[in-house]
Amino acid sequence: MQVKVLLFNTLEELIDDDLKTFQWYCTMDILAECKPFPRSRLEKACRIVTVTKLTESYGEELAVRLTVEILKKMTINDLAETLRSKYNLL
């Protein structure tokens, strides 16, 4: 499975309000290696656009790490661990 598909499937598990929260966290300094997005960059972005911007900006590995960390901050730990486990199997 491609990393983009894995990230998309993960974001598909989020309801719309949680996706907006996830995108809001993308504008914050979560990982030192990942420069936060400007707020307008993900405004009204769908899941596909969000995944595309994450992978284009940070590369696949950092995009997964950032997603895992954001999900943990959102206390969606089961989804974070599922993503981490599936990524490690690739």
Write the CATH number of the domain with boundaries 3-89.
Answer: 1.10.533.10
- CA-to-CA dists, residue 38 to 24, 32, 35, 68, angstroms: 10, 16, 9, 20
Structure confidence at residue 90 (pLDDT): 85
pLDDT in tens, 55-69: 999 999 999 999 999
Predicted pLDDT at 1: 67
Spans of the chain below 70 pLDDT: 1
pTM: 0.96
At 86 the pLDDT is 97
CA distance 20 to 87: 23
Whole-number Å distance between alpha carbons of 44 and 68: 22
- The residue extents of the domains of the chain are 3-89
